[in-house]
Amino acid sequence: MNTEFNFKLFVAGNEPNSSLARKHIHTICETYLEGNYQFEEIDVLNNFQAAIDHGIFVTPTLLIKTPLFESTIVGNLKDTHKVLQTLGVHEKQVT
């Protein structure tokens, strides 16, 4: 894999869906992206201007940038298949 993923996860403190999104994206990154990513978490309760600057009106929201595309996923990221499909990454068997 030679695409580097750049993620910005916009969350609202420790609200339940924000906590789930945080957990899910970390699991996805560690399991499927093998260190081939950069990750930034932005808590809109502490940095609302960043949310405005990026057009974020709902949390959690994951902004994805690669050299090939940009995309956004809204929600707690529990659907690993959907996230991987958006990233163009094939699921692998985890034992």
Give the CATH number for residue 48: 3.40.30.10
Does some domain include residue 45?
yes
Across the chain, which has 95 residues, the per-10-residue mean pLDDT values are 84 97 96 92 97 96 93 96 91 56
pTM of the model as a whole: 0.89
Domain around 43: 5-87
Does some domain include residue 95?
no
Q: Report the number of distinct structural domains present in the chain.
A: 1
pLDDT score for 34: 87
Give every CB contact of residue 17 below 8 A, 6+ residues apart in sequence: 59, 60, 75, 76
